[in-house]
Amino acid sequence: MQNDYEKVWSGCLTVIKDNISPNSFNTWFAPIKPVRLKNCILTLQVPSQFFYEWLEEHYIDLLKKTIKKELGPEGRLEYSIVMDNTYHANQTQPFTIHAPTLNRKALRNPPVNMPIDINRKENEGKKMLNPFIIPGLKKLNIHPQLIDSYNFDNFIQGDCNRLARSAGIAVGQNPGKTSFNPLLIYSGNGLGKTHLAHAIGIEVKNHFPEKTVLYVTAEQFTNQFIDSIRNNNQNDFVHFYQMIDVLIVDDIHCLAGKPKTQDVFFHIFNQLHQGGKQIIITSDMPPVEMSGIEPRLLSRFKWGLSADLQVPDFETRLAILQKKIRNDGVEMPEDVLELISAKISTNVREMEGALISILAQSSMNKKDITLKLASSVIDKFVKNSPREITIDYIQQAVCKYFGLPIDKLKSKSRKRETVQARQLAMYFSKLYTKSSLAAIGNKCGNKDHATVLHACKTVKNLIDTDKSFKQYVDELDNMINVG
């Protein structure tokens, strides 16, 4: 007899099948298993952390639509990640999922319960429940928000990350007592800076279980600060963060253009540093390249060590895949792993995604994993993988379209064609990147945020009133997304 959760998920799959290609369905939805339905919360079992992140990034709107269709407006979703061939229902957290402990002592401090909201995309920037600011809060109630699988055992060392990994281990074994305070880890997307940040936190908990460790994204920090202003309890917010022994803040560059949040973080930083507490931050760029961050905060970032993670070489990429399949308890021919390592060279997350796709195709179609099967999957995966769109990439596309040199776009020229190209570059940068207005302006010739805002409004008005201009925009949009 079919369980209620199986019926609900079956209804969801019917809708999903009508909205995506068969290949995407087989890769990303067929491997999912429903495991529980309670209080309008459907729990889905997914094969890995990467699998969960991919669903959240690419299919959140479709999932929201189907869950509400089946469960009504109160319908919610949580995930259970497969680790070590064992399935565990995780504590639900916004934006993060805590995988089970892997041959390590359980991280202390019971978690504050924070359900994942299927509506989070439409709620982002509006309201985020702050689980930390609780009257009478004690340190032992603070959950570190660390993902157990992101440990040093699973972080493969190579020439690309040797300095950062070594510094991370030193900090994990002696937090607040080394010269690496703060420790700033920076790299491009998908190269392991978040993994390394979690690994340091886990190392601290293993050596000093009594210490209070907290991982938080800069976005979460900002939303909590906004909530504290709205609720008139900024003192509680600051007091909470001053209690932390090891503070890990991911994507610190997201504080760009937010002076009040930077100000409160500055004071928290000073208090922790003076108290001998450890601070770990990650960014997609070194301090010298950060735009929109106050100079006094940038100077603090330079106090300790800034270590970068570079693109791994072939041998390191192969070792990463070998480690992953051993952890997952699956088998795959060595020549297939070598093929993945050779074909996908710039992003570890994409490489692991290709591995999942090959496993899914083999399982669903009951086929052996061969070079032919792997090659067909990888070719499609690489072709369909979303391109990382940056401000620099957008500027290159715009300049190519208008036949302008990059330095002309960044100049102070007021010629009509240059101004128009610059405004379009600002518009698409605001549309397709997470950069602040200040950061975009800085990249487009040291313009201020008001200039960027004006450019975006100008472009939108012209799209609505000028057909030939709208054609420019449509053609540029296609260039940027197709490449």
Dist. CA 236–CA 242, nearest whole Å:
10
Q: Report the chain's mean pLDDT, rounded to a whole number.
A: 79
CATH of the domain at 227: 3.40.50.300
User: What is the tens place of the pLDDT at every residue in 141-196?
Assistant: 578 889 888 999 889 888 888 889 999 999 999 999 988 999 999 988 778 899 99
The confidence score (pLDDT) of residue 356 equals: 84
**What are the 10-residue block averages of pLDDT along the chain, 483 residues in total?**
80 88 80 88 79 76 88 85 41 31 28 34 36 44 83 87 90 92 88 93 94 91 89 84 92 91 93 93 87 90 88 84 82 87 78 83 80 81 60 87 88 89 92 80 84 90 87 85 63
Dist. CA 19–CA 281, nearest whole Å:
39
Same domain, 361 and 407: no
The confidence score (pLDDT) of residue 97 equals: 33
Same domain, 301 and 318: no
Same domain, 319 and 415: no
In a domain, 184, yes or no: yes
- CA-to-CA dists, residue 343 to 103, 155, 369, 376, 467, angstroms: 33, 21, 17, 12, 42
Strand partners, 281: 184, 249
CATH of the domain at 75: 3.30.300.180
The confidence score (pLDDT) of residue 279 equals: 97
Same domain, 42 and 136: no
Exposed, middle or buried, 18 (CB in 10 Å: 0-12/13-18/19+)? exposed
For residue 279, what is the enclosing H or E element? strand 278-283
Single pTM value for the model = 0.52
The confidence score (pLDDT) of residue 51 equals: 72
Which of 384, 400, 428 is at the close of a domain? 384
Dist. CA 245–CA 171, nearest whole Å:
12
In a domain, 226, yes or no: yes
Neighbouring C-beta atoms of residue 179, cutoff 10 Å: 10
Same domain, 303 and 335: no
Q: Which residues contact 155 (CB under 8 A, 6 or more apart)?
A: 161, 165, 192, 195, 196, 199
The confidence score (pLDDT) of residue 221 equals: 92
Same domain, 52 and 142: no
In a domain, 10, yes or no: yes
User: In the chain, what percentage of residues exceed pLDDT 90?
Assistant: 22
In a domain, 108, yes or no: no
Q: Which residues contact 468 (CB under 8 A, 6 or more apart)?
A: none
Same domain, 124 and 148: yes
Neighbouring C-beta atoms of residue 23, cutoff 10 Å: 14
Same domain, 155 and 216: yes
Same domain, 258 and 346: no
DSSP 49-85: HHHHHHHHHHSHHHHHHHHHHHH-TT-EEEEEEEETT
Expressed as residue numbers, the domain containing 83 is: 4-87
The confidence score (pLDDT) of residue 81 equals: 73
The confidence score (pLDDT) of residue 173 equals: 93
Angle subtended by helix axes 49-58 and 60-71, to nearest 10: 80
Neighbouring C-beta atoms of residue 28, cutoff 10 Å: 21
Same domain, 292 and 172: yes
Same domain, 430 and 476: yes
438: Cα separation from own chain's centroid: 21
Contact 9, 36 (CB under 8 A): no
In a domain, 111, yes or no: no
In a domain, 93, yes or no: no
